[in-house]
Structure 1
Amino acid sequence: MRRINFINPFGSVSYDGIIKKTLGHYCAEGTEMVVTHLENCPPDIDFFYNKHMIEQSLYEEVMRSEETGFDAVIIGCLYDPGLRVARELVDIPVIGPLEASLQMASNFGHSTMILTDHRKAVPFHYDEIRLRGQGATVKGVDAIDWFVKDMINDRGAVAQDVVRLSTEAANRFGAETVIMGCTIIAAIYQEYLMEGGEPAEVPILNPNLMALKMAEGLADLHKKGAYTLARSGYYMKPTGHFAEEFKRARRIWNQSKPDFTQN
Structure 2
Amino acid sequence: METKSAARVLFLTPFNFAQERNDHAFDDIIRRQFTGLDGIDVIADHVTRFEADDESYESVQEELVVEATKKAEADGYDSVVVACFYDPAVPAAREAATIPVIAPMQLLGGLAAQLGPKFHVITDIDEAVQPTEDLIAGYGLAGFSTGVTAIRRDGDAILADTRAAAVLADKIIQGVAENGEAQSVIIGCTIVSAAYELHRDEFPDHGVNVLNSNKLSLKGASILSN
Normalising to structure 2: TM-score of the pair? 0.87
- Give me the whole-angstrom Cα distance separating, in 2, the residues matched to 1:173 and 1:87: 37
Query: 2:10 is matched with which residue?
Result: 5
* 1:67 is the counterpart of 2:60: no
The structural deviation recorded for 1:186 is 0.5
Native 8 Å contact 2:105 2:136 kept in 1: no
Greater Cα shift, 47-56 or 57-66: 47-56
- Give me the whole-angstrom Cα distance separating, in 1, the residues matched to 2:159 and 2:205: 20
Query: 2:119 is matched with which residue?
Result: 112
Return closer, same or farther for 1:42/1:146 CA change in 2, 3 Å cut-off: farther
The structural deviation recorded for 1:205 is 0.8
The SS at the match of 2:48 is coil
Query: 1:14 is matched with which residue?
Result: 25
The structural deviation recorded for 1:6 is 0.7
| Percentage of matched positions with identical amino acids | 29
* 1:127 is the counterpart of 2:134: yes
Greater Cα shift, 157-166 or 103-112: 103-112
The structural deviation recorded for 1:172 is 4.4
The structural deviation recorded for 1:200 is 5.0
- Pairs within 5 Å for 1:111-190: 111-172=118-179, 174-190=181-197
Query: 2:38 is matched with which residue?
Result: 28
- Give me the whole-angstrom Cα distance separating, in 2, the residues matched to 1:191 and 1:144: 16
- Give me the whole-angstrom Cα distance separating, in 2, the residues matched to 1:56 and 1:200: 42
Deviations 1:132-177 (A, max 9, x none): 0012111211111111121110111101111112221454482111
2:98 maps to amino acid:
D
1:197 to 194, 197, 202: 202
1:206 to 201, 209, 212: 212
Native 8 Å contact 2:10 2:79 kept in 1: yes
The structural deviation recorded for 1:23 is 2.7
Normalising to structure 1: TM-score of the pair? 0.75
Deviations 1:34-76 (A, max 9, x none): 1111123259xxx786454322211100110011111100111
Native 8 Å contact 1:105 1:112 kept in 2: yes
- Give me the whole-angstrom Cα distance separating, in 1, the residues matched to 2:66 and 2:177: 35
- Pairs within 5 Å for 1:33-72: 33-41=42-50, 50-72=57-79
Native 8 Å contact 1:180 1:205 kept in 2: yes
The SS at the match of 1:152 is helix
- Pairs within 5 Å for 1:241-252: none
- Pairs within 5 Å for 1:69-88: 69-88=76-95
Query: 1:102 is matched with which residue?
Result: 109
Query: Where in structure 2 are there 5+ consecutive unaligned residues?
Result: 17-22
- Give me the whole-angstrom Cα distance separating, in 1, the residues matched to 2:67 and 2:109: 26
- Pairs within 5 Å for 1:215-234: 215-220=221-226
